[in-house]
Amino acid sequence: MIESLKIKVDNLPKSPGVYLFKDSKGDVIYVGKAKSLRNRVGSYFQISRDKGVKLARLVERIRDLDTIVTDNELEALILESTLIKDHKPKFNVTLKDDKSYPYLRITIQEKFPGVYVWRQPLNDGSLYFGPYSSGGAVRTTLKLLNKIFLFRDCSNTKFSNRSRPCLNYQIGICPAPCVNYISEAEYKSHIGQVILFLKGKDKELIKSLKEKMDEESEKQSYEEAGKIRDRLNALDTLLERQKVVSREQVDRDIFAIIRHEDHLEILILFVRNGTLIGKKGFHFIQPEISDEEAFSTFLTQYYSAQFIPNEIVLPFKISSENTLRKFLKEKKGREVLITVPKQGVKKKFLLMAQTNVKQQAKLREQTTEDVVSILNHLQASLKLSNLPSVIECYDISTFHGSQSYGSQVTFRDGLPDKSRYRLYKIRRVEGMDDFAMLKEVLERRFKPSSERMSLPDLVIIDGGKGQLGIAQRVLRELEVENVDLIALAKAKTESAFRSTRVDKTEERVFIPNRKNPIIFKFGPALHLLERIRDECHRFGISHHRKARGREEIKSALDDIPGIGPAKKRALIKHFGSIEAIRKSSIEELQNIRGITPTLAEVIKRHLTGE
């Protein structure tokens, strides 16, 4: 397990919640729930021969994780379902049942609304309550509500084609609106009572059911009393209030904030259509301004570029609230409710956000301490003049004689700083001369100019002694000072030299003014160097694949009459690959600007050979 991941696992709380495993690209590959996050997540990485093949394949791909702490397992269960639907993780498809949780649907847009159990909410004007954790409980309670409030549960086809009441009318659970045995106004009063009940106006009903159950028990009608007891149990399950699902179908952002010395942590919980769908954390170093000032500035900057929900929940009052409200109204085009709740569902959401921001701060503090320790170890082991807080790595990529690129990635305090990633298209070198290409890239990066980025503390070259010599010469000629330089290369281990295997390798670090390389022992410092080098390699390869894909599309489209540069760009941007264009329909092609129905048919014939 990589060190950064081990730090996170060791610092997880023993609380229920949801965990999200991520791969090297940052994509969510698995979402799970846990009674104890630390125990459950830790169990994946325990050495065991009993792990199945599928689980082993999952574990070997995990490079990062995120968690959301909840108050109980049921909250975690429902949230897990929501996140799986949102992220569609690769391993959830094979390891877990993707069954959706049930909703209650009331078709209030109709003259005589029906009430149904529904799996997938639609944007059809109906009113939805849920999702709920138990399909059986929802169905049982729907029958109970049907007996109490009397409404139809038939399909619109059956409803519109009836000429006389159905059996439900005969047994007293439907007032037969299909044959006008009840007026529209009276029927809608029934539906209104159901809606009030589902919104929480349920105390009177529960009280009357309990009284009825006691009466049946006193009459020794134990079977009937048992049926009422079962109804109450189903009702309790249905009405169980979960903070991860609000009964209010609103979009809401909930903020929490915490300070530790100079470090400010902000966390947002995202509620969309009443359902908690995820979170996002932010970290700032703000030693000089108050929490309120920093928070107010953050809110303005954040909502300048992000979706603005109907409601924003804050942990405390801010003096600039009126200004913020006006700003949000101007951006959204309507009033945005800003609240600081003292009780109720919103307060419970706020407490959940505060729990998660504390966990975020704890992890950040522990991670920072460990990163500083790793950087200190690197500085001492490699005899660096600087603490390597900012590290740049360079690699040259060429595939099958195609266009070559130099890739640059930057890590700051052990984490990728993607704002300082760069790709250099090789311009001056012909043929396969890696040394000359590396020289060109470094000269373009470090040449004096007003646009040059600030210098790093350490430069890593993917290569050996020869590449290190080239880099030394370039930096010396450009008079770049106070930047440490190393080269990182793989080599066979001694045991590997005695065998035919070539996959066992160790890292060799070449440093200036030393003949033999430094062999790094397995540990956190080596993990950091490998991670930086591998990220540089990944960045270069991913760009090459995209570039090759674009070239393949261009060449395939070149021979199609009527396809010029503008239409090529539009097709490439929309579909991304020649295979996607080939599989597209005529209608999809026509959606591209400039593609007429006739031209769409020409494209299909040319690419499919039909």
DSSP 347-414: HHHHHHHHHHHHHHHHHHHHHHHHHHHHHHHHHHHTT-SS--SEEEEEEEE--TT---EEEEEEEETT
CA distances from 155 to 116, 186, 194, 301, 523 (A): 9, 21, 19, 49, 64
Can you give the residue ranges of every domain in the chain?
3-95, 103-239, 252-362, 390-544, 559-608
Q: Is the pLDDT of residue 595 over 70?
A: yes
CA distances from 588 to 71, 373, 575 (A): 46, 55, 10
How far apart CA 131 and CA 114 sit, in angstroms, is: 18
CA angle 590, 593, 599 (to 5 degrees): 45
**Secondary structure element (H or E) that encloses residue 67, with its range:** strand 64-69
C-alpha closest to that of 21 among 95, 131, 97, 71: 95
Give the model confidence (pLDDT) of 86-134 as tens digits.
Answer: 787 877 643 334 455 577 899 999 999 999 988 777 778 898 875 565 6
Positive or negative, the CA dihedral 299, 303, 304, 305 is positive
Greatest Cα pair distance, the chain, in angstroms, is 102
Confidence (pLDDT) at 51: 53
How far apart CA 559 and CA 524 sit, in angstroms, is: 54
Here the tokens at position 455 are: 């210098």
Q: For domain 252-362, is the CATH number 3.40.50.12660? A: no
Average the pLDDT over each of 205-219, 452-466, 546-560 and give the range with the smallest value: 546-560
The torsion region of residue 562 among left (phi > 0), alpha (psi -120 to 50) and beta comes to left
Hey, is 549 helix, strand or coil?
helix
C-alpha closest to that of 568 among 582, 554, 548: 554
Whether 252-362 shares its CATH topology with 559-608 is answered no
How far apart CA 572 and CA 581 sit, in angstroms, is: 9
Positive or negative, the CA dihedral 582, 587, 593, 597 is positive
Specify the CATH class of 390-544 in words: alpha beta
Q: For domain 3-95, is the CATH number 3.40.1440.10? A: yes
HSE-up of residue 8 (Cα within 13 Å, Cβ side):
19
Q: Is the pLDDT of residue 246 over 70?
A: no
Give the model confidence (pLDDT) of 285-319 as tens digits.
Answer: 754 556 887 788 788 878 877 778 899 999 999 88
C-alpha closest to that of 17 among 31, 35, 29: 35
**Percent of all residues in the chain with a pLDDT value above 70, rounded to a whole number:** 83
The answer to whether 127 and 116 are in contact (CB under 8 A) is no
Q: For domain 559-608, is the CATH number 1.10.150.20? A: yes
Tell me the one-letter amino acid at 421.
Y
Q: At 497, is the pLDDT very low, low, confident or very high (cuts 50, 70, 90)? A: very low
Start-to-end CA distance of the chain, whole Å, equals 52
Neighbours of 248 (CB within 10 A): 13
DSSP 28: E
Give the model confidence (pLDDT) of 435-474 as tens digits.
Answer: 999 999 999 999 987 567 889 999 999 999 999 999 999 9
Q: Is the pLDDT of residue 342 over 90?
A: yes
Tell me the one-letter amino acid at 221.
S
Give the model confidence (pLDDT) of 555-581 as tens digits.
Answer: 667 778 888 878 877 887 777 777 778
Does residue 16 have a cis peptide bond before it, meaning omega lies within 30 degrees of 0?
A: no
Q: Is the pLDDT of residue 347 over 70?
A: yes
The answer to whether 531 and 524 are in contact (CB under 8 A) is no
Place of tokens 């603005």: 308
Hey, is 225 helix, strand or coil?
helix
Q: pTM here?
A: 0.44
With a CB cutoff of 8 Å and minimum separation 6, the contacts of 375 are 387, 388, 389, 413, 414
Confidence (pLDDT) at 598: 87
